[in-house]
Structure 1
Amino acid sequence: MLFQNLLLLLPAALLTSAAPADSHSLADAGAPPPLDSSPPGVVSLTAEEVSADSAVSASPCSDWQQLYGRGRWTYVEVQWCFRQRGDQTVVTQEQQNPWYFWGGAWYTGKRHTLTWQTTGTVGSSRYFDSGNNSNDGPVRRDIYTFKSKIPPGLYPVSVHYHQLGPWWGADAAIDADLTFAISLGY
């Protein structure tokens, strides 16, 4: 009888030892990021492809990028926008839906620190670097200002995004190389 009672208590004991209550509340557990999303790959756009694609994506913003970390232990969605402000062009980055996998479940990373850096090129010669940044949970932030306004037109943009967190460190870092097209107006 004692053995049967111990067997009945075993699942509860495993659940409580699998996730410390102060860090991984089951209330924070959620559905995992989309299963059909694969880790990011490098997409190369030529000038001809940018021109051909312009009718479809004449936007100053990238599509939302679904990014997984090494081993698919972390996940975040990121978008970049390029806005003309006076005589400058401002690069804005927005992060949403940070998640991390721990103890057999996905947890929201909205209250965890994300440490990141974004570098990239607009066209063939306009380089930008956000520097090292961190924020608790998702945020929308201006990450770079081109002091001279980029002339109106269609541009290929290459971005490298590096992120540590939520929860995990360098062993589950997100390292994504992306290329997309933007359209800048006046």
Structure 2
Amino acid sequence: MAEPYSWVGLTGGIGSGKSSVAKRLAELGAVILDSDLMAREVVAAGTPGFDEVVAAFGPSIVGANGELDRAELGRRVFGDQAARRRLEGIIHPRVREELVARAAAVPPGTLVVNDVPLLVEAGLKDQYQAVIVVFASVELRVARLVTARGMSEAEARSRIAAQATDEERHAVADFEIVNEGTLEELYAQVDAIWEQLKVS
């Protein structure tokens, strides 16, 4: 029998329900490494990453709470490729370093799932033994973003349009989950994939 998987990528478009899948995988025994969360941690106030971002973009991106004003930073880099690359050049190496360190601390034989919203866009497929992709229709995702996150419909559609297409996600998926039903139906799909990941 082949060795079980130990390093898996998890992705899906905004509003697809990827967080619910990650939650279920954690309940089943996987260690979840959230790249989005790490991207915040490596530029938190008091870190070298924070200092480098402020040096690159100026003190006006620091909010009243002493942390980065993420909305203002987003405005600075949206549509400005050079600025976005500068920011990514600060954040991405630190996230990779943190990922490696945390994965190395996981006990042998444990399935590590790296939750990466932009896995497809960043071309990261080859870094993983397998990739799980969560899908849902655009209309359902828009409804979720409006209801759960308070976005306007236009903002939700803009966010979805800025990400990879479903066709691009299908191309990298080793396992696919369609999240358009109940939570029980979603968990049943996750449980089935979990069994395959353990015995493959």
TM-score bin, normalised by smaller chain: under 0.3
Larger strand share, 1 or 2? 1
Question: Which one has a bigger Cα radius of gyration?
Answer: 1
Length-normalised TM-score, structure 2: 0.21
